[in-house]
Structure 1
Amino acid sequence: MEKIISIANLNYTYPDAKQAAINDLSLDIYKNEWISIVGKNGSGKSTLTKLIDGLIEADSGTISVAGQIINEDNIWEARKKIGIIFQNPDHQFVGATVEDDVAFGLENQGMPREQMVKEIDRALELVKMSDFKKRDPQSLSGGQKQRVAIAGVLATKPQIIIMDESTSMLDPDGRKTVLNLVQQLRKEQDLTIISITHDIEETELSQRIVVLNTGKIVKDGKPVEIYDLGTDLRKYGLEEPFSSKLMSTLRDTVKLPEGYLSEEELEQQLWKLHSNM
């Protein structure tokens, strides 16, 4: 597998802080991978995002993006490969219409107007928001706003998208819609997705989960391996998935397979047991 980001022995301490925010952290992220980085507040998730995007500079260690070690000379080139979708889409809106907002990143790149119009249309089509092109972003629902924010990122054609708690303000249906959309786009556009979250329920579509605690990686594995930690997740300030809690409750009275089951798998098992009664 091809590495898209390679982090080696990274350290960062905020000015006047007594404890390192990132502590000798090493991590490889692969092309087209969906990786979720989880942990409680203060675990180092947001700091790691800022370091990857070059918003802050590490005290020591290296970060390579697409095979190139980030430094002062190439940081702007590296940033073009990365798009960030933030928690609150309102913070990304600067234009009077949806198309103005999607155009913002392209204008910063100095793209000619004729080409820009094509890229805006392409990005809005990808997120199924073409009909809203002339609308005021503030008139949209939370899920629609987040889709416009995604379009703004897609328009600049990044290789990597960082989702920084970007579904935490949505209701469960809106969250599911956005996550499924990102999964579809990852496959179609050959994107790498880095999802930063404190909510374990948001990690089901990822291929790998990295658990951070006090700036260090304490667990790194496939979702099923992390979910199997069950109540041990609480040590890292994380809730165990709803289906894990339900399985723990049901195991006293119902025979269930060992290991983690998703909500859909658990539902199938319960139907099977019910039909055999």
Structure 2
Amino acid sequence: MEKIISIKNLNYIYPDSKQPAINDVTLDIFKNEWVSIVGKNGSGKSTLTKLIDGLIEANSGTIAIDGQIIDEDNIWEARKKVGIIFQNPDHQFVGATVEDDVAFGLENQGMPRDRMVEEVDNALRLVKMSDFKNRDPQSLSGGQKQRVAIAGVLATRPQIVIMDESTSMLDPDGRKTVLNLIQQLRQQQDLTIISITHDIEETQLSQRIVVLKNGAVVKDGKPADIYNLGSDLEKYGLEEPFSSQLVSTLRDDLKLPEGYLSEEELKRQLWKLHSNM
């Protein structure tokens, strides 16, 4: 697989702190991969995001994006390859209409108007918000606002999309809808997704989970391997997934298979057992 981000021996300490926010992190992320970076508040997730996007500069170590090590000469070019969807979409809205808002990043790039209109229409079509393009963004629901924020990022055609706690303000149905949309777009647009979250339940569509604690990578593996840590996840300030807790309670009585079961897999197992009664 081809690397899209390569981080080596990265360190960062905030000016007013004695403890490193990022502590000797080495991490590779591959093209079209969905990686969830998890950890409790203060573990270094948001700092790592800022370093990848060039908003702050590391004290030492390197970050390469698409094979090019980021430095002060190429940072603006590198940032064009990265789009960020933030926790609160209201903080991203600057336009009077949905259409204006999605066009904002393209205007900053100096894109000709004819092409800009085409790119905005395409981005809104991808997130199924074309019918809302003349609406005031503030009149939309939380899930609709997040779709517009996603369209604004997609319009700039990044290679990497960072979701920075971007579903945490949505209800469970809205969260599931947005995550499924991101999965669909990843496959259609060949995007690399980095999901930053403190909620282990939001990682189920990812291919890898990286666990941070005190600014360092403490676990890096497939979702099932991380979920199988069970109650040990509490060591890293994370809650055990609900389905894992339920399986632990039911396993001995119902003779459920060993290892992690997602909610869907658990439903299938319970239905199979019910059908055999």
Give TM-score scaled by structure 2 length. Answer: 0.99
CA distance in structure 2 between the partners assigned to 1:23 and 1:121 by the alignment: 43
Query: What SS is found at the alignment partner of 1:32?
Result: coil
Match of 1:51 in 2: 51
Pairing 1:1-277 to 2, within 5 Å after superposition = 1-277=1-277
Q: Deviations over 1:124-176 (max 9, x none)?
A: 00000000000000000000000000000000000000000000000000000
Query: What SS is found at the alignment partner of 1:24?
Result: strand
Deviation at 1:16, TM superposition (A): 2.1
Q: Deviations over 1:64-119 (max 9, x none)?
A: 00000000000000000000000000000001100000000000000011110000
Structure 1 counterpart of 2:101, which letter?
D
8 Å contact kept, 2:162–2:196: yes
Deviation at 1:251, TM superposition (A): 2.1
Structure 2 counterpart of 1:172, which letter?
P
Point out where structure 1 has 5 or more consecutive residues left out of the alignment: none
CA distance in structure 1 between the partners assigned to 2:205 and 2:51 by the alignment: 25
Point out where structure 2 has 5 or more consecutive residues left out of the alignment: none
CA distance in structure 2 between the partners assigned to 1:155 and 1:16 by the alignment: 37
Structure 2 counterpart of 1:50, which letter?
K
CA distance in structure 1 between the partners assigned to 2:253 and 2:42 by the alignment: 39
Deviation at 1:252, TM superposition (A): 3.7
CA distance in structure 2 between the partners assigned to 1:149 and 1:196 by the alignment: 16
Query: What SS is found at the alignment partner of 2:166?
Result: coil
CA distance in structure 1 between the partners assigned to 2:250 and 2:269 by the alignment: 12
Structure 2 counterpart of 1:38, which letter?
V
8 Å contact kept, 2:251–2:257: no
Query: What SS is found at the alignment partner of 1:36?
Result: strand
Deviation at 1:274, TM superposition (A): 1.2
Give TM-score scaled by structure 1 length. Answer: 0.99
Query: What SS is found at the alignment partner of 2:114?
Result: helix
Query: What SS is found at the alignment partner of 1:14?
Result: coil
Q: Structure 1 residue runs of 4+, over 3 Å off?
A: none
CA distance in structure 2 between the partners assigned to 1:21 and 1:188 by the alignment: 35
Q: Deviations over 1:1-25 (max 9, x none)?
A: 0000000000000012121000000
Query: What SS is found at the alignment partner of 2:87?
Result: coil
CA distance in structure 2 between the partners assigned to 1:201 and 1:251 by the alignment: 20
Q: Deviations over 1:28-48 (max 9, x none)?
A: 000000000000000000000
Deviation at 1:216, TM superposition (A): 0.5
Q: Deviations over 1:186-235 (max 9, x none)?
A: 00000000000000000000000000000110000000000000000000
CA distance in structure 2 between the partners assigned to 1:177 and 1:131 by the alignment: 18
TM-align CA RMSD? 0.5
